Amino acid sequence: MNVPYFFVYKDHASQWRWRFVASNGRTIADSAESYHNLQDCEHGIALVKKESPGAVTIGDDNYKRNRP
């Protein structure tokens, strides 16, 4: 695919998970937890979509020292 997307799948324990894949095909984020229900997994994706437009970047002291 040439667009970023969320990929939903079942893991080895038959729990739902998601991963966010960039337009270049690389995974750039994934669910930190598994979900028993598909609806809960989809809710997790919705939360990421909702919260990410206002997200800011923060970091440790090393990050701060290396920023212009």
Residue 1 has pLDDT above 80, yes or no: no
- The predicted pLDDT at position 40 comes to 97
Task: Dump pLDDT digits (tens) for 14-45.
Answer: 999 999 999 999 999 999 999 999 999 999 99
- Count of domains observed in the chain: 1
58: domain CATH number is 3.30.160.160
Of 57, 55, 27, 31, whose CA–CA distance to 43 is shortest?
A: 31
What tokens were used for 43? 């809710």
Is it the case that residue 68 has pLDDT exceeding 80? no
| Whole-prediction pTM | 0.81
The domain of 47 spans 5-66
What average pLDDT does the chain have?
92
